[in-house]
Amino acid sequence: MNRPSLVRFALLSLIAAVLTIGLKTVAYLLTGSVGLLSDALESLVNLVGAVMAMSMLTIAARPPDDDHNYGHDKAEYFSSGVEGSLILLAAVSIGVTAYERLLAPKPLEQVGLGLGISVGASLINFGVARILFRVGRQHDSITLEANARHLMTDVWTSAGVLAAVGAVSLTGWNRLDPIIALIVAANIIWTGVRLMRQSIAGLMDVALPAQERDVVLGVLEKYRQEGISYHQLRTRQAGARRFVSLHVLVPRDWTVRSGHEVAERIEKEISQSLPNATVLTHLEPLVPEVHDMPGSLPGGPSAKL
């Protein structure tokens, strides 16, 4: 599956958002529950997030050009960042509405029918979220993963709201409805903050995760045992793409051709071990009295990932 094909999964999320907005709005109108209203508002954010995801996935799929030599993959971080911001906005709206209802509680109506409709909407979100999680992780798409996390948050939110509405119907304690809505708002804020932190980390070119760095180090360690060293190892990630750069140190009496053949083998092995990796090497002669100094080999400061 190529990167452009991921757009259709964002379209799936958009369709799910439209359906759930309609269902949850009907449930709110039937019951008058502010908890169900908060659920509907979050689905509205899902819709905006899905539109943003489609746009950014389309841009991220574009090949490198004269103005974007490293491609457009970072566009995905904008999508998850915007979705995180929208989640926070939805949380504030829910909180304000719930606070007003807490001060002036109202009885709920037609609870059974409203709950049934809301359950149907939650099942749609759950199914789509599982699909997006699987595809997002398979293709390293932060956009689809962010969308999936938001939908799963929506599912858990709905579960809490449904339980609260049912409890209100059984106990007659109307203030429980806005209290649950406030708890939902707090949970949504946590999800939004996590998404924004993840987006900022990507835009700031943080190093690859420790597990992936270990893969790179495993390849390089094999060459160190053959007398070939390295330094200035750097890693970063842009959407689904990974970038690795390093200086390869070979014996001084080697020919340029021999050195480049080794460098090319290293690039190839790292690329094969690390999906979607672009590896850049710079060839240098190994000078023992210089490269044996602290910081010149993998454990030192200059090799910090």
Whole-Å CA distances, 272 to 47, 110, 207, 258, 268:
38, 59, 19, 21, 6
Quick one: pLDDT at residue 109? 63
107 and 216 fall within a common domain: no
Helices (H), the chain: 7-31, 34-60, 75-103, 111-138, 142-171, 176-203, 210-224, 256-273, 288-291
Q: Of 35-44, 129-138, 150-159, 264-273, which one has max mean pLDDT?
A: 264-273
Domain boundary among 177, 203, 229: 203
How far apart, in whole angstroms, are the C-alpha atoms of residue 42 and residue 184?
A: 10
Distant-in-sequence, close-in-space partners of 103: CB < 8 Å, separation ≥ 6: none
Query: Where does the pLDDT of residue 81 fall: very low under 50, low under 70, confident under 90, or very high at 90 and above?
Result: confident
**pLDDT tens digits, residue range 13-37?**
888 888 888 888 888 888 777 767 7
- Smallest CA-to-CA distance from 162 within 121, 129, 190, 126 is with 121
Domain boundary among 167, 182, 203: 203
Domain containing residue 286: CATH number: 3.30.70.1350
107 and 252 fall within a common domain: no
**Cβ–Cβ under 8 Å, residues 45 and 150:** yes
Report which secondary-structure segment, H or E, holds 232: strand 229-238
**Cβ–Cβ under 8 Å, residues 40 and 21:** yes
Query: Where does the pLDDT of residue 247 fall: very low under 50, low under 70, confident under 90, or very high at 90 and above?
Result: very high
| Region label for 295, one of left (φ > 0), alpha (ψ between -120 and 50) or beta (otherwise) | left
- Smallest CA-to-CA distance from 235 within 263, 201, 206 is with 206
Q: Decide if pLDDT at 189 tops 70.
A: yes
Average pLDDT, the chain: 78
164 and 226 fall within a common domain: no
**Cα atoms found within 13 Å of the Cα of residue 175, Cβ hemisphere only:** 4
Quick one: pLDDT at residue 11? 83
Quick one: pLDDT at residue 107? 65
170 and 27 fall within a common domain: yes
How far apart, in whole angstroms, are the C-alpha atoms of residue 35 and residue 181?
A: 5
Question: Residue range 239-266: average pLDDT?
Answer: 89
Q: Decide if pLDDT at 114 tops 90.
A: no
Quick one: pLDDT at residue 299? 38
Output 297 or 192, whichever has higher pLDDT. 192
Q: Decide if pLDDT at 1 tops 70.
A: no
Neighbours of 214 (CB within 10 A): 12
195 and 102 fall within a common domain: yes
256 and 278 fall within a common domain: yes
How far apart, in whole angstroms, are the C-alpha atoms of residue 28 and residue 177?
A: 12
Phi first, then psi: what are they for 231, rounded to 5°? -155, -175
Domain containing residue 122: CATH number: 1.20.1510.10
**pLDDT tens digits, residue range 200-209?**
777 777 788 8
Quick one: pLDDT at residue 291? 54
Q: Decide if pLDDT at 9 tops 50.
A: yes
How far apart, in whole angstroms, are the C-alpha atoms of residue 70 and residue 63?
A: 9
254 and 284 fall within a common domain: yes
215 and 171 fall within a common domain: no
243 and 296 fall within a common domain: yes
Quick one: pLDDT at residue 303? 38
Residue for token pair 């992936």: 212
168 and 30 fall within a common domain: yes
Q: Which domain holds residue 81?
A: 3-203
Domain boundary among 171, 203, 235: 203
157 and 116 fall within a common domain: yes
Domains contained in the chain, number:
2
133 and 102 fall within a common domain: yes
Question: Residue range 38-51: average pLDDT?
Answer: 74
